[in-house]
Amino acid sequence: MTDRHVEHADFTIERAYAASPERVFTAWAEEKAKADWFAGGGNDYRLDFRVGGREVNRGSRSGGPVITFDARYHEIVPPERIVYAYDLYVGSTLASVSVTTVQFAPAGRGTRLVLTEQVAFLDGHDRPEWREQGTRDWLETLAAHLERETSRA
């Protein structure tokens, strides 16, 4: 018998970027830009960035199970805030359900990003510490994307 349980968690990550709020927001809003830092090479990725729109990122690493991020946008306030909810699947198994708020604020010559996520982890398929670390990792990948974009300008 499977151990059925729910673990609730939330976390907040603050990150500074050396780019304007408009540029950081655009990196979340434009499909090509977001695919560069969020989707990873070879993933099936699509973004419909509008209230009610969906974002789907599906792929696997090193031959592991297919991971699917399936989000719906609930609020978009350029260049200040994005609110979305998403389901995360491991194979065909629902691993978690999340609500995420991303806020962008001017900070000197750059941006202060504050990401808050509230999660229901289902049946031990994912863990709070894994999710928070994974989120930190892709926020670092966003920084690298913004640096590459700046060096091309």
Half-sphere exposure of 6 (CA within 13 A, CB side): 8
pLDDT at position 1 is: 41
Q: Is the pLDDT of residue 2 over 80?
A: no
pTM higher than 0.85 for the full model? Answer: yes
Residue 62 — pLDDT band, cuts 50, 70, 90?
Answer: confident
Please tell me the predicted confidence (pLDDT) of residue 40.
78
Rounded CA-CA distance 10/128 in Å is 8
Fold type of domain 6-152 = Alpha-D-Glucose-1,6-Bisphosphate; Chain A, domain 4 (3.30.530)
Higher pLDDT, 25 or 151: 25
Using alpha carbons only, how large is the chain's radius of gyration in Å?
16
Confidence at residue 150, expressed as pLDDT on a 0 to 100 scale: 85
**124 confidence band (pLDDT: 50, 70, 90):** confident
pLDDT digits (tens, 9 = 90+) for 71-121: 999 999 999 999 999 999 999 999 999 999 999 999 999 999 999 999 999
